[in-house]
């Protein structure tokens, strides 16, 4: 089904997690603006995106290359992709395709949709509702340094400065909503988008009362 309220995004980063080897984050940014949308994806999906961005040519076609070849063979055009929704921390997307003048909207995992968008060279869009819920904006004002917090360095500190806990051991319970917002801005400035996505999900969970 079509979605009218949408904004164009562009890929600005594909970052690797140093503590969780199978996790990556693809970071989208609203075109011409500062609002960003970090999406945590798996290693295979990250590789599929990176291979196309870097214009590498595998000896045999990867799954997304095969899918593109099939679409090209049967004259199916990918016009764009749209990130439509965010439910329980999971992003949903659609492929906007045309064949013989008919437009079809095909449900897709967001990582697969992005991998195909890169291969076809088509625009990436996100619904305004997704951006309002999950987007993060780079602040012009410098956030309060975490090292100045009275509880910085304690166990469970999600800034990672204590050196005592791994990312998987984070606990958000000791932080107020205002404190989480400050931490979120700090990790965004450091371009640690995987950590930012986890903090953002916790803030959204609190807002929804789950």
Neighbours of 61 (CB within 10 A): 12
Q: How many of the other CB atoms lie within 10 Å of CB of 102? A: 7
Q: Could you give the count of Cα atoms lying within 13 Å of 106 in the half-sphere of its Cβ?
A: 18
pTM of the model: 0.70
Q: Could you tell me the fold of the domain covering 6-134?
A: Bifunctional nuclease domain (3.10.690)
Please give the structure tokens belonging to residue 12: 């600005």
Q: Where are the domains of the chain?
A: 6-134, 139-208
Nearest 5°: phi and psi at 58?
-65, 155
Q: In 3-state terms, the chain is what percent helix, strand and coil (to 5)?
A: 35, 30, 35
Q: Tokens 């993060």 label which residue?
A: 136
pLDDT at 128: 94
Q: At what angle do helices 177-189 and 193-208 cross, to 10 degrees?
A: 160
Query: Rounded CA gap, 170 and 146, in Å?
Result: 15
- How do the pLDDT tens digits run along the chain, 210 residues long? 555 589 999 999 888 754 455 678 899 999 988 899 999 888 888 888 988 888 887 778 889 999 999 999 999 999 999 999 999 889 999 999 999 999 999 999 999 999 999 999 999 999 999 999 999 887 644 333 322 333 333 334 444 444 444 444 456 777 888 888 888 878 777 767 667 777 877 887 888 776
């Amino acid at each position: 089904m079509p979605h009218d309220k949408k904004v164009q995004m562009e890929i600005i980063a594909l970052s690797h997690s140093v503590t969780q080897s199978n996790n990556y984050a693809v970071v989208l940014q609203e075109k011409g603006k500062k609002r960003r949308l970090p999406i945590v994806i798996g290693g295979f999906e990250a590789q599929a995106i990176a291979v196309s961005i870097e214009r590498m040519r595998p000896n045999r076609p990867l799954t997304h290359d095969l899918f593109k070849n099939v679409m090209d063979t049967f004259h199916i055009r990918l016009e764009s992709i749209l990130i439509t929704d965010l439910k329980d921390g999971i992003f949903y997307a659609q492929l906007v395709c045309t064949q013989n003048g008919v437009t079809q909207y095909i449900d897709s995992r967001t990582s697969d949709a992005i991998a195909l968008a890169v291969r076809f060279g088509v625009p990436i869009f996100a619904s305004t509702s997704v951006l309002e819920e999950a987007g993060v904006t780079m602040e012009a004002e410098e956030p309060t340094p975490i090292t100045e917090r009275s509880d910085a360095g304690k166990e469970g500190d999600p800034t990672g400065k204590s050196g005592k806990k791994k990312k998987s051991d984070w606990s958000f319970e000791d932080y107020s909503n205002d404190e989480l917002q400050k931490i979120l801005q700090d990790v965004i400035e450091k371009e640690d988008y995987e950590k930012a996505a986890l903090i953002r999900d916790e803030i959204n969970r609190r807002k929804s009362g789950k």
